[in-house]
Amino acid sequence: MQLGLSYRFGKSVNEQKQEREEKAKEDIATAVRETTKFYESELSNQSRQHETEINAINARLDETIEEINQKYDQDIAVLKAKGEEYEADKIKLEEEKKAAIDLAEQKAKEAIDLAEQEKEEGIARAERERDVAIRNIENRFGQEKDELVAAETFKSENYSRGVQALADGNYQQALESFEAVAETDSEYLEVQEYIELTKAATKSWSEYPPEVREIYTRGVDLFAQKKYEEAITEWKKILEDYPYNKAAKDGIKQAEDRLKKLKELGARE
């Protein structure tokens, strides 16, 4: 009997593989967004630091120019106090003042240029680090995605192979397939149930305690006497301790089928 791959899955192998791939893509995108956000924050911090540094340079320049102007005013006041001709000295002081201001502005410009250069280098370095981090994320998740897809394919194929073998009565093949899945993922779908079911299907009556065999025999006798409900009661006792006992389950099903037919016949009469 051929069983489709959606049996017991709800989804085909290809659909499950596609879901894994989509999940891996989402994980990559999330990690890339987080990494990008981190480096954007770093770049924003660098920009703020740069702005603070430029403001500090301009503030120091203003203070220096203010100090130069104050000294100039003081020197002029001293010359005026002497009451002498100070025009030539005034021109000299103005030249010194202008030279001092020019020097201060030149130093401030050099400091700003250096800060701009450091900012550009910092941004370029952060962008390189971001690109490397993103490539590493993509490589890592790409490898994990391949491993996940391979593992999911292995489990899905062995699980479906086990279900098919069980349906065909090939219990050894079914058990090998289910146990291969369980070794990889013990919680995969209903693999543990199938393992127990397959083992129960191949278990010899000699492996059961004598009292279990006696209960089963009583159920068979009752069934032969057409006491189907009593036979079901006996066989259900076996299932309390051995829920996968195939003989008891098959017996119960046959007895229930007989009761159903009797009920139908009674209804027609």
111-147 pLDDT, tens digit per residue, is 888 877 877 777 777 777 777 776 776 676 667 667 7
Pick 262 or 32 by higher pLDDT. Answer: 262
Ranges of H-type helices in the chain: 13-82, 87-167, 171-184, 191-202, 210-224, 228-241, 246-268
Q: For the chain, what is the domain count?
A: 2
7 found inside a domain: no
State the pLDDT confidence band at 83, using cuts at 50, 70 and 90: low
- pLDDT for the residue numbered 267: 46
Structure tokens at 218: 């009583």
End-to-end CA distance of the chain: give it in Å, rounded: 38
3 found inside a domain: no
Structure tokens at 241: 């301790």
State the pLDDT confidence band at 17, using cuts at 50, 70 and 90: low
Average pLDDT over residues 203-230: 88
Dihedral sign computed on CA atoms, order 245, 250, 253, 255: negative
State the pLDDT confidence band at 81, using cuts at 50, 70 and 90: confident
Of the candidates 217, 225, 223, 224, the one whose C-alpha atom is nearest the C-alpha of residue 256 is 223
- pLDDT for the residue numbered 4: 39
- CA–CA separation, 134 and 245 (whole Å): 55
Global pTM value = 0.41
Average pLDDT over residues 198-223: 86
Angle at 252 between CA 248 and CA 256, to 5 degrees: 175
Residue 37 pLDDT greater than 80, yes or no? no
Q: Highest mean pLDDT range out of 37-51, 171-185, 191-205?
A: 171-185
172 found inside a domain: no
Examine the domain organization and report whether 150 and 269 are in the same domain: no
Examine the domain organization and report whether 21 and 137 are in the same domain: yes
Boundary residue ending a domain (130, 159, 188): 159
68 found inside a domain: yes
Classify residue 11 as left (phi > 0), alpha (psi -120 to 50) or beta: beta
- CA–CA separation, 62 and 56 (whole Å): 10
Examine the domain organization and report whether 152 and 28 are in the same domain: yes
pLDDT single digits (tens) 232-261: 999 999 888 888 788 888 899 999 999 998
Examine the domain organization and report whether 144 and 218 are in the same domain: no
216 found inside a domain: yes
Task: Give the residue numbers spanning the domain of 60.
Answer: 13-159
**Mean pLDDT over the full length of the chain:** 78
Examine the domain organization and report whether 89 and 155 are in the same domain: yes
Examine the domain organization and report whether 134 and 237 are in the same domain: no
One-letter amino acid for residue 101 of the chain:
I
87 found inside a domain: yes
23 found inside a domain: yes
- pLDDT for the residue numbered 236: 93
Examine the domain organization and report whether 211 and 134 are in the same domain: no
One-letter amino acid for residue 58 of the chain:
N
Examine the domain organization and report whether 152 and 219 are in the same domain: no
Examine the domain organization and report whether 53 and 137 are in the same domain: yes
125 found inside a domain: yes
